[in-house]
């Protein structure tokens, strides 16, 4: 179990050191996407859980799908860690809180170790978490050593413990992999080439855990083999430092407010940290399903998150009672905030990539059509009067609408126009997924009838 480092700290230790907590931790990374990071992280979490340990897992970057797999594997909520969208202090806070409860912390990286800015390596290095790299070794033999050497030395001093080969074809294949490993970079074992472990995918990423019928069997099978590798050994403790900011001191901007949050297979892209923040601001949260429910829970405002409405066109079109309830809420001018899939649901119609079309709510004029190629990706921010929300976008649809944007997102890395933010009476809708803790005041304003979020003159 986590141990306060202050118990062994000298009297001259700094205040930050005294507020740190020790907990074994490991950062799971790779040379790029699709090497099996999520499979290995889930297997490792399940293996340690089977040994009676409390495991907390985090996912680097603005990912909604991998965390569903990792939550199933670990049995505990999975939060995102993102240095730009959330900030260093929020990342520190989440890790520090987890370290007080967990026997082991696992962090899954995003894309390749050095991809992006900030990248996975920045997070691992800043939090002082030792890393291991998962490498898909299909078609690779002794060259694995060169990959390991490059990952270990690309950034001097980076704490790479070693590599795990994913997709090893035979004992002879593994022998060749070991032959190529350079001194100082460990070979930690392997998973065999086996479709039994493969996690199913669709557009946007992995299929959510709730939709994979045999997910637990897949994770268990991989966990049994991970348990035979050196990767399964408990890593060294890491000191997780508490941030100076105190989340409990947030103003109660949403005190007395009841927010109805859509949550089902069509609307599931929700950062757990967003729900936490709404509660910390004083809101009471209730949940409903636009797919199944006939009535809205009694609420002052509504949160329609992203998800996969395009996969549930007929159910959404056919649930007339829910559509009428939502239309009534909006007609009364009560607040509703919608992100990505929630935006698509508010439009007049939505068509899937095969051309099947269904009527949506019609709260906003216009239509959306799913495309076969990615249409929007990257970090953006929205500057509102109450503050600037940091966000991310990732979508395959395009919209056609005559609506004028109240705001436009500002991209982090280029000068092209960002995603639009529409404002119609109490409704705010955008493709952007906001991280609420980046501006609690701006987040609260999305769910309040007053003060209004007005477009700048």
Q: What angle do CA 192, 194, 199 make, to 5 degrees?
A: 115
- Interval 361-411: pLDDT, tens: 999 999 999 999 989 899 999 999 999 999 999 999 999 999 999 999 999
Q: What angle do CA 429, 433, 436 make, to 5 degrees?
A: 100
- Interval 294-342: pLDDT, tens: 999 999 999 999 999 999 999 999 999 999 999 999 999 999 999 999 9
- Calculate what percentage of the chain has a pLDDT beyond 90: 82
- Tokens 């649809």 sit at which residue? 397
Residues annotated catalytic, as ranges: 340
- For the chain, domains (ranges, CATH) are 21-241 (3.40.50.300), 252-445 (3.40.50.880)
SS3 per residue for 363-423: CCCCEEEECCCCCEEEEEEEEECCEEEEEEEEECEEEECCCCCCEEEEECCCCCEEEEEEE
- Tokens 């082991």 sit at which residue? 104
- Interval 192-211: pLDDT, tens: 987 676 787 766 677 777 77
Q: How many CB atoms are located within 10 Å of the residue 101 CB?
A: 14
**Half-sphere exposure in the Cβ direction for 360 (13 Å, CA):** 27
3-class SS at 451?
coil
- Locate 144 and state its tokens: 């694995």
> Do 136 and 59 meet the contact criterion of CB atoms below 8 Å apart?
no
- Tokens 């933010």 sit at which residue? 421
- Locate 115 and state its tokens: 């991809």
How far apart are the C-alpha atoms of 94 and 79, rounded to whole Å?
8
Q: What predicted TM-score, i.e. pTM, was given to this entire model?
A: 0.91
- Locate 351 and state its tokens: 């068509």
Q: Which helix (H) or strand (E) holds 159?
A: none
Closest by CA position to 277, among listed 438, 119, 120: 438
């Amino acid at each position: 179990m986590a141990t306060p480092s202050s118990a062994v700290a000298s009297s001259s230790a700094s205040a930050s050191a005294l507020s740190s907590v020790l907990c074994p931790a490991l950062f799971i990374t790779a040379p790029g996407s699709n090497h099996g990071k999520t499979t290995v992280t889930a297997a490792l979490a399940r293996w340690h859980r089977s040994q009676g340990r409390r495991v907390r897992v985090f996912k680097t970057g603005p990912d909604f799908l991998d965390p569903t797999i990792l939550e199933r594997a670990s049995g505990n909520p999975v939060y995102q860690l993102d240095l730009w969208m959330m900030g260093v202090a929020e990342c520190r806070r989440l890790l520090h809180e987890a370290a007080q409860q967990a026997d082991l912390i696992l962090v899954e990286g995003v894309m390749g170790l050095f991809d992006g800015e900030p990248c996975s390596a920045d997070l691992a290095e800043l939090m002082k978490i030792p890393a291991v790299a998962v490498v898909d070794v299909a078609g690779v033999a002794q060259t694995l050593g060169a990959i390991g050497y490059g990952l270990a030395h690309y950034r001097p001093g980076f704490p790479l413990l070693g590599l795990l080969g994913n997709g090893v074809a035979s004992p002879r294949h593994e022998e060749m992999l070991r032959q190529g490993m350079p001194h100082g970079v460990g070979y930690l074992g392997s998973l065999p080439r086996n479709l039994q472990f493969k996690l199913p995918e669709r557009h946007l990423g992995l299929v959510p855990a709730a939709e994979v019928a045999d997910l637990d069997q897949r994770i268990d099978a991989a966990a049994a083999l991970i348990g035979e590798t050196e990767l399964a050994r408990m890593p060294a403790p890491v000191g997780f430092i508490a941030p100076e900011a105190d989340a409990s001191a947030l103003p109660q901007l949403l005190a007395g407010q009841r927010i109805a949050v859509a949550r089902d297979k069509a609307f599931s892209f929700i950062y757990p940290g967003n729900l936490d923040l709404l509660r910390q601001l004083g809101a009471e949260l209730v949940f409903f399903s636009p797919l199944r429910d006939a009535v809205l829970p009694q609420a002052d405002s509504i949160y329609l998150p992203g998800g996969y409405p395009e996969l549930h066109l007929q159910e959404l079109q056919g649930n007339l009672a829910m559509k009428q309830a939502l239309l009534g809420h909006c007609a009364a001018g009560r607040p509703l905030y919608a992100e990505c899939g929630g935006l698509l649901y508010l439009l007049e119609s939505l068509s899937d990539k095969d051309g099947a079309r269904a009527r949506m709510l019609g709260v906003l004029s216009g239509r959306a059509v799913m495309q076969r190629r990615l249409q929007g990706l990257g970090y953006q921010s929205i500057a509102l009067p109450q503050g600037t929300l940091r966000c991310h976008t990732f979508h395959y649809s395009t919209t056609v609408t005559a609506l004028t944007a109240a705001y436009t997102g500002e991209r982090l890395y280029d000068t092209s126009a960002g995603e639009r933010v529409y404002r119609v009476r109490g409704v705010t809708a955008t493709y952007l997924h906001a991280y609420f803790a980046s501006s609690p005041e701006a987040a609260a304003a999305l769910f309040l009838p007053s003060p209004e979020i007005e477009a700048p003159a």
